[in-house]
Amino acid sequence: MTRFKGLAFGCSCMALLAACGEEKAVMQDAPLTVADAAAFMEDAETQLSEAGQHLERLSWVNANFITYDTNMLVANADEDFIKLSVSLANAAKKYQGLDMPADLARKFEKLKQTMVLPAPEDAAKTASLARIKADLTATYSTGKVAMEGEEKTLGDVSDIIASDRTPERLLAAWDGWRKVSVPMKSDYAEMVAIANEGAKELGYADVGAMWRAGYDMDPDEFAKVADKLWDQVKPLYTALHCYVRAELSDYYGDRVVADAGPIPAHLLGNMWAQAWGNIYPLVKPETSASGVDVTAALKEKGYDAIKMVKTGEGFFSSLGFEPLPDTFWERSLFTKPEDREVICHASAWDLDGKNDVRIKMCTKVNDVDFTTVHHELGHNYYQRAYQNNTYLHLTGANDGFHEAIGDMVALSITPEYLQKIGLISDVPPEEADIGLLMKRALDKVAFLPFGLMVDKWRWQVFSGELTPENYNDGWWKLREEYQGIKAPNDRPADAFDPGAKFHIPGNTPYMRYFLAHILQFQFHKAACEQAGWEGPLHRCSIYGNKEVGDRFKAMLEMGASKPWPEALEAFTGSREMDGSAVVAYFAPLKQWLDKQNEGRTCGW
């Protein structure tokens, strides 16, 4: 936690802030200077840091112990944090028009972005916003599905979607989970209205524009960048979709999956059809030698949650990162407690802006969570690496970077690596490559349109293009347009299916994951080039490469102190996010898919 550093004007607490500005006006009546702006900013960062840490600790307790009281406590702390952020962002307006150094000007922009959802300067609306946020998260995280005579958790129904192959049971699990979000809809609409008012007060068209402003470029320009990235990878997705639809049609019959049009969403192995790796056994290439079954290997070698995390730590250590502190092991949550409600959705935390980093996961021993462990640790190593920056720079170069770090490392989990750490004994022959690539594509390529459409939906909600009565239809329109999937049944009039995805009630912007699924391949390709790797990208692992680790660390240490193109350039040599690394990585699979798809009509 950054402590109070002392200021030229000695104004450090919120109550004094207004008085301080007035004092200057009365005493000196002098125009505000850049030095004034810098002093204001330093003080603002100190206050935000202290309030932020308080909110973070309460949120940690709430996420580990969801009760009526912890929900209330977190709502109160959130309310205070929003009030502080809004008052600082509004107070900052008086420095507008000053000719500031670029760095300071950028901090003033960032000062308007410390809240995901801003409130207007109105105490009652701020309190409502904070209460709704806490309620939505709690409703999602404690949601249960009545199925087969018992109360199932999201973890239980997700397991069914992952492994069951009977369409009726899959549908019951899929549909059951979507009942949890029905009561969220009116609160969600109220929250959108309040937050939009807040965004307008800060000078944004709406909350969506505010989110798009977080990328060191014009918000409209960013929307175009996202579309351009999608255009680069769309042919690959379409080929995968075409092949998977044909395989599922063979398996389930064309009464369940037609060989044209969108795929029903309950058959893709994931509750949100966002990553399809779980249906690999149904669609795996027949000609391919058998690949690696990481879930089976983990189970066979007796891995538990802690061993999975230790293995992840080992990878980062091999790149030259310091081991995780003892407090990480003492304070993290690794498995689902039986005696209380927790937020099971995996997350990584930084409690003090220094070394008090933790993860919170309801880890299962399987390949998906093995990857998620690396994902979460990526956040923690990033947080530790940038700790020497000031408050507003204690984050990723952009939010996509933050989500890409651990994923980039996980791309180096190759068969050779698994053999090195003793998880498997034999590395599969080259003929297995198409299978390995297929498994990766099912997770990573299938994710791309989902990663894009979630915030396309929210942007439409925030702009007013979608009104509450159209929330659900608008969601499925985008699901079909981008992912080529459809709801497996008629959706009831009161359905609020977006709310059945954690990040909607949780208000976590989602474009970050789309960007991360582009960036992680860009990072991986650059890392492999730095390592002098000349083989196919999917066989490259940077495990143990300290030189690559040093360059990686240098990018991470920058945090958000520089516009993201500079961070990207520092590691990859490029200043643009670029989908061509995804295309290069999957090129052998694309060729194979195109061959399989010959004679098929692809698209939906």
CA-CA distance, 567 to 379, in Å (whole number)? 16
Nearer to ligand X8Z by Cβ, of 375 and 590: the residue is 375
Residues 6 or more apart whose CB falls under 8 angstroms from that of 597 comprise 239, 242, 243, 246
Whether 453 contacts 481, CB under 8 Å: yes
In the chain, what is the greatest distance between 2 CA atoms, to the nearest angstrom?
A: 83
In whole angstroms, what is the distance from residue 582 CA to residue 580 CA?
Answer: 5
Q: How far apart are CA 523 and CA 403, in angstroms?
A: 12
Shortest Cβ distance from residue 90 to ligand X8Z (Å)? 30
Q: Examine residue 258 and tell whether it contacts ligand X8Z (CB under 6 A).
A: no
The torsion angles phi and psi of 382, rounded to 5 degrees, stand at -65, -50
Which partner, ligand X8Z, Zn ion, none, binds residue 586 by CB below 5 to 8 Å per kind? none
Taking a C-beta distance cutoff of 8 angstroms, is the pair 343, 66 a contact? yes
| Residue 153: CB atoms within 10 Å | 18
Binding mask of the shown chain, residues 490 to 509, with x at each position contacting ligand X8Z by CB under 6 A: --------------------
Indicate which of ligand X8Z, Zn ion, none lies near residue 347 (CB less than 5 to 8 Å, by partner kind). ligand X8Z
Task: Count residues near ligand X8Z (CB under 6 A).
Answer: 6
347 contacts ligand X8Z (rule: CB under 6 A): yes
Of 356-385, binders to ligand X8Z (CB under 6 A) are 372, 375
Segment 397-456, which members bind Zn ion (CB under 5 A)? 403
Residue 474 in contact with residue 365, Cβ under 8 Å? no
Q: Give the residue closest to ligand X8Z by C-beta.
A: 346
Is 60 an interacting residue with respect to ligand X8Z (CB under 6 A)?
no
Catalytic residue among 38, 95, 403, 585: 403
In the shown chain, the binding pattern of residues 99 to 128 toward ligand X8Z, with x for contact by CB under 6 A and - for none, equals: ------------------------------
Q: Pick from 513, 523, 543, 592 the residue near ligand X8Z by CB under 6 A.
A: 513
Contact 361/334 with Cβ under 8 angstroms? yes
Q: Which residues pair with 358 in a beta bridge?
A: 349
Decide if 375 is catalytic. Answer: yes
Which residue's CB comes closest to Zn ion? Answer: 403
Amino acid at 80: D
- Residue 372: name its binding partner from Zn ion, ligand X8Z, none (Cβ under 5 to 8 Å by kind): ligand X8Z
Catalytic residue among 241, 266, 374, 379: 379
The dihedral sign for the CA sequence 542, 543, 547, 549: positive
Q: How far apart are CA 82 and CA 119, in angstroms?
A: 7
For 56, the enclosing helix (H) or strand (E) is helix 34-64
In angstroms, what is the minimal distance from the CB of 502 to ligand X8Z?
7
| Cβ atoms < 10 Å from Cβ of 601 | 9
Tell me the closest approach of the beta carbon of residue 378 to Zn ion, in angstroms: 8
Could you give the residue numbers annotated as active site?
Answer: 345-346, 375-376, 379, 403, 503, 513
Judged by the rule CB under 5 A, the positions of this chain that interact with Zn ion are: 403
Judged by the rule CB under 6 A, the positions of this chain that interact with ligand X8Z are: 274, 346-347, 372, 375, 513
